[in-house]
Amino acid sequence: MLLVIDVGNSNTVLGLYRGEELLRSWRITTDTSRTVDENAMLIHELFRLSEFHFTDIADVIISCVVPPMLTALEGLCRQYFKLKPYIVGPGIKTGMPIQYDNPREVGADRIVNAVAAYEKWRGSLIVVDFGTATTFDYISARGEYQGGAIAPGLGISSEALFERASKLPRVEFARPPQVIAKNTVNSIQAGLFFGYVGLVDGIVARMKMEARDEPRVVGTGGLAEQIARASESIDAVDPCLTLEGLRIIYTRNTPSNQSESAPRRSQ
């Protein structure tokens, strides 16, 4: 089986594939203070609860935007899986031309999302990923990554509001009953929720104008479902887009059915 790992600034998502089938996924907190052994214990326990074992893993591919985590995960793969993992970055085949001033600056997760979205929809696309930062990425009809925009994530925005405005309470992120709210909690929710929906729709509209195109808009990440229900621009939501992109990139860098064969042991 293939273990795919997507390391974000706030959360790390793991997925276990048999061929093209996603058997199970897990979301854990990204913690750079965890050692190789601590990460191994955590993943071992997640596997055990789902009746999987380390010996089931034939290969591993990692996308990471937190460099200290990458070192720990590479150590985990070598020590516990006896594998050298594939790392999404310079030198790996993605099958997608990167039309960016410096391709090395593009976050691995953005490329992985773009690859998965284009493989699934085969047309021009805007991928909106709701994470610690919210990223907007445009892929041309020819399957070229053209660039995009980065905005503060909703969590960052709300924390800044609570920290800087001493009288405002922390509130649950939720859609309030109306924009013209009648109490403080709903007022904050209205500003956060509808303000963020407006940000998404506004950036998408400007990207479409610049591209002179009508791309499909795909949302992914933790808040994608909530925002999509109120957004006028998001056409589809795929919560597993990044995991699927990792699987696709893995297949482009290995012989067919590698994840079904005996583990590729490190030397």
Task: Judge whether residue 266 has pLDDT over 60.
Answer: no
Specify the pLDDT at position 167. 85
Predicted TM-score of the model (pTM): 0.91
Q: Are 126 and 136 in contact (CB under 8 A)?
A: yes
pLDDT tens digits, one per residue of 45-70: 999 999 999 999 999 999 999 999 99
How much is the mean pLDDT over the chain? Answer: 93
Domain ranges of the chain: 2-90+252-260, 103-244
Q: Which two tokens stand for residue 252?
A: 């482009």
Per-residue pLDDT, 267: 45
- Superfamily for domain range 2-90+252-260: ATPase, nucleotide binding domain (3.30.420.40)
Q: Is 7 left (phi over 0), alpha (psi -120 to 50) or beta?
A: beta
CATH of domain 103-244: 3.30.420.40
For residue 199, give the 3-state DSSP assignment.
helix
Q: Which two tokens stand for residue 9?
A: 């600034």
pLDDT tens readout for residues 120-141: 999 999 999 999 999 999 999 9
Query: 3-state class of 183 per DSSP?
Result: coil
- Looking at 6, 59, 109, 137, which residue is catalytic? 109
Any idea what DSSP says for residue 77? I
Alpha-carbon distance of 88 to 212, in angstroms, equals 31
Identify whether 109 is a catalytic site residue.
Answer: yes
8 Å CB contact between 100 and 106: yes
Tokens read off for 196? 């963020």
pLDDT of 259 > 90? The answer is no
